[in-house]
Amino acid sequence: MSTDAVTMDKIVSLCKRRGFVFQSSEIYGGLASTYDYGHYGVQLKSNVKAEWWRSLVQRRDDIVALDAAILMHPRTWEASGHLEGFTDPLVQCLGECKRRWREDHLREAAAEEGRDPGEELRCPECGGELSQPRNFNLMFETHMGPVADAGSRVYLRPETAQGIFVNFRNVLQFARKKPPFGIAQVGKSFRNEITPGNFVFRTREFEQMEMEFFVPPDEAEQWFSYWVGERRAWYERLGLRPDHLRVRAHDPDELSHYSSATSDLEYLFPIGWSELEGIANRGDYDLRQHAEFSREKLEYVDSSSGERYVPHVIEPAAGADRATLAFMVDAYDEESIEGRERVVLRFHPRLAPVKVAVLPLVNKDGQPERAREIYEDLRERMPTEFDTGGSIGKRYRRQDEIGTPWGITIDHQTMEDGTVTLRDRDSLEQSRLAIEGLGVEMERRLAAEWRSPKLG
Ligand code: GAP
């Protein structure tokens, strides 16, 4: 297994230093476990989402897109089981610190440390006695309209999936699809997590990338295996090292209330192996529940054979923030070159926030003007940056830290023969290229196959 210099602290500090991610409401002291994305973070996360759309919708005939509202009819959450079952067992310290903990996490930790998971638990912070567990619902409540009473109560959705189920009939009608087919959606979800933490790994507001794939009941198992394989391959194609990814099937007592089988794709984060994405076999649970609560028929009827059935659902559910964090962690590298240290994010070029940096070697002799012309041509084709500030070494290091795969330097030779120096972020090789045709050449490089240099 390839070794890593990365730690979560290094990622947090790089994110702040280079403007990827900041603490939210920082000037007021910050809001716990809530983050804002800056310029490079926005572009990186957008690229992750764009690759997800490209792979799940653009390159397939059998999946269509949806963008449902965050606020949904409150009956949705009764039908889905979230009002009843989307809870965590909460215990509170009755000693000094009064902190709240998830009972299941404390029992898991006890088992991992070789202790009896059924033992009487004590507060991990101050050793105090703990209260009896109480089920705590993770949904955020708010009110619609001017009066805050029970009749106006609505919820911020805790998963995007339900927006897909309640639109099943619309899509079936208007997209003219028949099972197996899928509906894909990307959007914000909210959970009042008891123990958020580890930077953007677990927050209370986050973005999900979910797809519900509706299949004939007898094909569910085969499609479940298919999607586990597809989703793993997606992460690997975008550069995650295969030895840092694994599939873990849930034990029966871990399954969500709707699921008959779930496998997590786990990534070896600096905090250890943790869930990156869940792939669940939801059976016909959701469509049947919504059909019962809404009294609408939610089934597929084959117009030629007359056969009717409630499709089963296979759901690959990913987190955009968690995936972005995994790509950053995997890309992070440190090396020493001729006695100088550099930090470099070895992103897949398609994920890199900036693809090319155009850098005049000196700020005179017509070089900045020529560089600006090249920059203005390239930025029409791909995200490009123009940087004139500081020594060339300092500018390269800045680009390395945001993961820019290519640097183009304009020097005195450029002014003589119309060529530029192209520097490769990973190999540090420098080659000369003609300005004529440069845009096409950079597009070719961006579209080419890529393999993480960390794989050797
Ligand atoms: N619809 C199924 C569902 O929501 P989940 O495993 O609870 O399943 C799917 O969530 C993915 O969403 C997770 O694998 C993770 O990537 C992301 N996710 C869930 N809770 C999160 C949180 N509190 N913060 C950040 N990402 C989260």
**What pTM value is reported for the model?**
0.94
- Please give the Cα distance from 12 to 302 (Å, whole number): 53
Torsion angle (degrees, nearest 10) of CA 112, 113, 119, 122: -110
How far apart (Å, rounded) are the C-alpha atoms in residues 306 and 170? 20
* Cβ atoms of 76 and 166 closer than 8 Å: yes
Check residue 3 and give its pLDDT: 57
What is the average pLDDT across 190-214?
96
Whole-number Å distance, alpha carbon 396 to ligand 1 midpoint, is: 36
* Cα 318 to averaged position of ligand 1 atoms, centre (Å): 6
CA–centroid distance, residue 110 to ligand 1 (Å)? 24
Q: Indicate whether 342 pLDDT > 60.
A: yes
For residue 275, the ligand 1 atom closest to its alpha carbon is 14
How many of the other CB atoms lie within 10 Å of CB of 83? Answer: 16
DSSP character at residue 249: E
Structure token pair of residue 103: 């009972």
Q: Is 206 in the pocket of ligand 1 (CB under 6 A)?
A: yes
pLDDT of residue 373: 97
* Phi and psi at residue 409, to the nearest 5°: -105, 135
| Ligand 1 centroid – CA 202 distance (Å) | 8
CA distance 426 to 445: 14
Q: Say which range, 10-24, 156-170, 256-270, 283-297, has the weakest mean pLDDT.
A: 256-270
Does ligand 1 come within 6 angstroms of the Cβ of 209? no
Mean pLDDT of the chain: 95
**In contact, 357 and 394? CB cutoff 8 Å:** no
- Answer yes or no: is pLDDT of 41 > 50: yes
402 pLDDT more than 50: yes
Q: Is the CB of 318 within 6 Å of ligand 1?
A: yes
Amino acid identity, residue 206? F
Q: Does the beta carbon of 162 sit less than 6 angstroms from any atom of ligand 1?
A: no
Which pLDDT score is estimated for 2? 47
- Is residue 89's pLDDT more than 50? yes
Residue 443 token pair: 């597009």
What separation in Å is there between the alpha carbon of 64 and the centre of ligand 1?
Answer: 21
Tokens representing residue 181 in the block:
């087919």
Q: What token pair was written down for 117?
A: 């998971």
Residue 262, ligand 1, Cβ within 6 A: no
Interval 190-216 mean pLDDT: 96
240-248, Cβ contacts within 8 angstroms, sequence gap of 24 or more: 240/267, 240/326, 240/327, 240/330, 241/2, 241/330, 241/452, 241/454, 241/455, 243/1, 243/2, 244/1, 244/2, 244/268, 244/330, 245/276, 246/273, 248/273
Q: Whose CA is nearest to atom 14 of ligand 1?
A: 277
- The mean per-residue pLDDT over the stretch 94-100 comes to 93
449, containing H or E segment: none
Any atom of ligand 1 within 6 Å of the Cβ of 322? yes
The residues near 393 (Cβ < 8 Å, ≥ 6 apart) are 340
Averaged pLDDT for residues 399-421: 97
Strands 140-143 and 419-424: unpaired
Greater model confidence, 357 or 110: 357
How far apart (Å, rounded) are the C-alpha atoms in residues 31 and 424? 39
Half-sphere exposure of 114 (CA within 13 A, CB side): 0
Do the Cβ atoms of 279 and 315 come closer than 8 Å?
yes
